[in-house]
């Protein structure tokens, strides 16, 4: 293969990653071949080995890139919100977290591809076990812990993490389950606007967090 200029290398890498994101998300690891990717990226098979060292490493890098993009978007959004007011309340922080969590997943962006990756990985297990923990969970835990410390009652660190996990569960359920509650034969069973659900999650979770803190405040 003839050598490419540096900007040509970068362009080829980007085309490969862009094609791999879509195909791995849609078809999974086993359902996607290197030839599928190179056909869409308009390059040869050798380019994948040259730039990424093979299909396994390309899959990991594709997932990692999506994960880091989602993580950084959420962190930037929350820190921007928290710096915008002088004395944020617990409810303000939770609403900021809920919006930062959901926005990348509902706007038709690459966050939706990441959800498909997760679904495929439930049965595939092609990623390093510590990738999600190191690249996503730990940084997000740090930011959410800062927010809770700034706005909420004193919490044991483990309880604080469990509270945030509960909120994530509510948000994911809302995101994935809301379409099933539509009622074409009559009034909706639950509100149809996502914003209404965010307000409920915030109100419900703020009360739960304060209840979890009560034993510590009493001791």
pLDDT of residue 120: 83
Q: Could you report the per-residue pLDDT of 118-139, keeping only the tens digit for each?
A: 888 877 788 888 998 999 999 9
For residue 1, the model assigns a pLDDT of 41
* Cα distance between residue 7 and residue 216, in whole Å: 57
Of residues 93 and 180, more confidently modeled:
93
Do 76 and 120 sit in the same domain of this protein? Answer: yes
190 pLDDT tier (thresholds 50, 70, 90): confident
Let me know whether 70 and 173 are in one domain. yes
Same domain, 35 and 117: no
Instruction: Output the six-digit token pair for 157.
Output: 């660190």
Domain carrying residue 12: 1-53
The pLDDT tens digits of the residues spanning 149-169 come to: 999 999 999 999 999 999 999
Burial class (CB in 10 A: 0-12, 13-18, 19+), 74: buried
Q: Please, which pLDDT band fits residue 106 given cuts at 50, 70 and 90?
A: confident
Answer yes or no: is 59 within a domain.
no
Euclidean distance between CA atoms 40 and 20, whole angstroms: 9
Q: Which helix (H) or strand (E) holds 78?
A: helix 55-83
Q: 66: which residues sit within 8 A by CB, 6+ positions away?
A: 21, 110, 111, 113, 114, 117
Domain count, the chain: 2
Which region holds residue 183: left if phi is over 0, alpha if psi is between -120 and 50, else beta?
beta
Q: Are residues 103 and 205 in the same domain?
A: yes
Per-residue pLDDT at 196: 94
Show which of 34, 53, 72 is a domain's final residue: 53
What pTM was estimated for this model as a whole? Answer: 0.84
* 176 shares a domain with 74: yes
Q: Residue 2 phi/psi, 5° resolution?
A: -65, 145
Token pair belonging to 54? 């093979």
- Identify whether residues 42 and 68 lie together within a single domain: no
């Amino acid at each position: 293969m003839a050598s490419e200029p540096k900007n040509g290398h970068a362009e080829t890498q980007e085309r490969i990653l862009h094609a791999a994101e879509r195909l791995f998300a849609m078809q999974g690891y086993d359902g996607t071949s290197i030839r599928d990717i190179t056909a869409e990226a308009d390059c040869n098979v050798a380019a994948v080995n040259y730039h990424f060292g093979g299909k396994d490493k390309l899959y990991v890098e594709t997932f990692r890139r999506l994960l880091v993009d989602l993580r950084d978007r959420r962190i930037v959004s929350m820190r921007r919100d928290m710096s915008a007011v002088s004395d944020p309340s617990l409810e303000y922080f939770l609403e900021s977290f809920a919006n930062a969590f959901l926005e990348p997943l509902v706007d038709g962006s690459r966050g939706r591809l990441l959800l498909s990756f997760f679904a495929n990985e439930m049965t595939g297990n092609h990623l390093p076990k510590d990738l999600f923990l190191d690249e996503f969970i730990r940084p997000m835990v740090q930011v959410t812990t800062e927010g809770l410390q700034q706005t909420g009652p004193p919490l044991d660190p483990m309880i604080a993490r469990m509270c945030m996990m509960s909120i994530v569960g509510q948000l994911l359920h809302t995101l994935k389950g809301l379409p099933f509650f539509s009622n074409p034969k009559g009034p909706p069973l639950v509100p149809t606007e996502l914003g209404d659900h965010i307000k409920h999650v915030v109100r419900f979770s703020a009360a739960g967090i304060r209840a979890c803190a009560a034993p510590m405040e009493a001791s």
